[in-house]
Amino acid sequence: MNTFYKKYLLEATKYRGGEARPESQANLIKLSSNENQFGPSPDALEAIRSSLNGLHEYPDNDDSRLRKALVEHYQNKLEVDHFFCAPAGSEIIELICRAFLNAGEEIIICNPSFIPFKVFSEKMGARVVQVPLDGKTFQFNISLILKSITPQTRLVFLASPNNPTGNIICRSDLEALLANLPQHVILVYDEVYHHYVEASAYSTAIDFVNRNQNILAVNSFSKVFGLAGLRLGYGYGPPKLVSYIRCLLKPFLNSTLAISGGIAALNDEPFLLKSIRNNTTQKRLFYKFFTEIGLKYWPSEANFILVKPEIPVKAFCRYLLAQGIMVRPVQIHDEPYVRITIGVPAQNQKLFQALRTIHENQSLIYQGISLN
């Protein structure tokens, strides 16, 4: 190996995102990547079109317009200096890792959780300590997280709602975690799916940020705002931490189109409410249908649901794909599961029909026998 290569970078976990839509399957129902099935905000599309003639000019150097729009979106509970922006939520995570991690230091993640926590930390040469979620309920074990902290720990990553399980950490547990977190540790709180949460026990990071606690929130425009292809994300935290992270930001990091589209999406409240209402209503139909056919599932506070098919996951996903529906197989504690995005009504009805067929013909589908 060449001496100028970093060994830990070569050995770091590689992230494999959800598969893209095959070009030959334009009508595929893609319920595998937790995207907003309504598409982008109409106002965002119009703002992007209106910005095209200005592409000969550089975008905002410090994302000031976008950060001001975020202040309004959060109803002035935060200020401009609380925010930092980057091309996607995953870039926000990477910025945090670059800012606070050195080779040989430690981070703590829950297992399972969002894979990029591990990916970006390992690329900095950090040691990843995994704390398992409860094997049956997937609930967080706050006491075990705290027991896993050492003098070398720098970051604790927590996603709420958690991907791929959909569960949250309640406010009281979050308060307990932060109250007992040593001063040399920062909690990275991924709240990308927070718009979908119904549980009253849930809390974003806002109150804790305003108390100047060691917490950084991660957010994205890829989910409820429907702008996954545009690549835009943001984080917020105490100004003392955010100003340090901003030292890493490149000039003109976010494009004119992303900034304009993001601002318009933040201001398109009718689209936001429509997306949230659809998720809430359709999620209840998922629960009812899954119960009817005996498909084991875990209640979710996000726009996806984790299920455990009775037949092998590979056969389950293969049959759905043959019906024009793509879902996401996932491994949790060496056990196979499937994560299904909640779509719009027409998509969900087609999914339910396919799932009913699987339920009624399990042995044939397991054997790969055509039902036509």
Residue 359 pLDDT: 93
The answer to whether residues 51 and 184 belong to one domain is yes
Cβ neighbours of residue 57 closer than 8 Å, sequence gap 6 or more:
256
Question: What is the domain-level CATH number for residue 331?
Answer: 3.90.1150.10
What is the per-residue pLDDT for 372?
52
Give the pLDDT confidence score for residue 371 in this predicted structure: 60
Q: How far is 283 from 303, CA to CA, in rounded Å?
A: 8
In a shared domain, residues 27 and 107: no
Backbone angles phi, psi at 33, to 5 degrees: -125, 15
Within 8 A by CB and 6+ apart from 217, the residues are 189, 190, 191, 204, 205, 206, 209, 235, 236, 237
Q: Are residues 121 and 247 in the same domain?
A: yes
Domain C-terminal end among 267, 285, 308: 267
Q: Is residue 371 part of a domain?
A: no
Residue 355: both structure tokens together: 């799932």
Residue 372 lies in a domain: no
Model pLDDT, residue 5: 77
Is residue 11 one of the residues assigned to a domain? no
Q: Quickly tell me which residue has 């995102």 as its tokens.
A: 17
Question: Residue 4: what pLDDT?
Answer: 73
Q: Tell whether 145 and 287 lie within a shared domain.
A: no
* Residue appearing with tokens 């037949």: 311
pLDDT in tens, 131-178: 999 989 999 999 999 999 999 999 999 999 999 999 999 999 999 999
DSSP 67: H
Q: How many residues does the chain have?
A: 372
Query: The domain containing residue 49 runs over which residues?
Result: 42-267
* Shared domain check, 300 and 312: yes
Residues of the chain with pLDDT under 70: 1-2, 15, 17-24, 366-372
CATH code for the domain in which residue 134 is found: 3.40.640.10
pTM of the model: 0.93
User: Are 32 and 125 contained in the same domain?
Assistant: no
Predicted pLDDT at 12: 78
The tally of domains found in the chain comes to 2
Residue 110 pLDDT = 97
Q: Are 329 and 340 in contact (CB under 8 A)?
A: no
In a domain, 122, yes or no: yes
Whether 58 is covered by a domain: the verdict is: yes
Residues 240 and 295 in one domain: no
Among 215, 240, 267, the domain boundary falls at: 267
- Is 212 a member of any domain? yes
Find all residues with CB under 8 Å of 159, minimum gap 6, and list them: 110, 113, 114, 117, 190, 191, 192
Residue 278 lies in a domain: yes
Helix ranges (DSSP H) in 229-360: 239-245, 256-267, 269-293, 313-322, 345-360
Specify whether 142 is located in the same domain as 250.
Answer: yes
Domain finish residue from 242, 267, 292? 267
Residue 25 domain-assigned (yes or no): yes
Q: What is the pLDDT of residues 59-93, one digit of tens each?
A: 998 999 999 999 999 999 999 999 999 999 999 99
Half-sphere exposure of 5 (CA within 13 A, CB side): 8
Same domain, 256 and 277: no
Predicted local confidence at residue 6, as pLDDT: 75
Is the domain of 209 the same as that of 79? yes
Q: Is residue 56 domain-shared with residue 22, that is, in the same domain?
A: no
154, 288: one domain: no
